[in-house]
Homo-oligomer: A and B are copies of this chain.
Amino acid sequence: MEPKFFEDVKVGDKLVTPGRTITETDIVLFAGMAGTLEPLFTDMEYVKKSSLFGRRFAQGTLVLSISMGLSVQLGWTQGTAMGFLGIDQLRATKPVFCNDTIHVDVEFTDKKETRHTDRGVVTTRRSVKNQDDEVVMTYMHTMLIRRRSAEGKPAH
């Protein structure tokens, strides 16, 4: 997909990302990198006996992080993304188990000019779904996107 400038964004448009399987490697590496060393993610005996789901599942922030990466993989923000502004109403609605495969539905819900003429604010609703098409996480994501008219140019 070609990079989208602010002018290219149409409210109501929808994108679907590729899928990504969340592996034990992702979960273990993420626990160490983020520092979320708690029994829910590092002690499988505890997970089996005392957790709500009884088997290894992914950290909510790992699911969020990978869902961001899947959107980047689509290519629409390559060289037009200028900054991350925020997240609203994030809900983790179902566990993502180890070896589940997620993808993301991205819907453009709002665009706003700012006082800077080289950029605009774009909001998307994102629904993360698993291989059975069940929604596992939803959130609103807001970012700065470059305007085509601006002097700044995309990365390539």
Contact = CB atoms under 8 A, between A and B. Distances in A.
Contact of A79 (B46, B52, B64, B131): B46
17 contacts: A18-B38, A18-B39, A19-B42, A25-B29, A34-B66, A34-B68, A36-B65, A38-B155, A39-B78, A43-B155, A59-B68, A62-B65, A73-B78, A75-B75, A87-B90, A88-B90, A90-B90
B156 A44 contact: no
A77 to B, nearest CB: 6
A51 B2 CA distance: 20
A137 to B, nearest CB: 9
A98 to B, nearest CB: 10
Nearest to A61: B65
B85 A92 contact: yes
A60 interface: yes
Contact of A35 (B72, B139, B144, B152): B72
A5 to B, nearest CB: 14
A82 interface: yes
A28 interface: yes
Given A35-B37, A85-B91, A87-B139, 12 more contacts: A18-B46, A20-B35, A20-B37, A21-B44, A26-B33, A30-B65, A31-B32, A34-B65, A39-B155, A46-B155, A61-B65, A62-B65
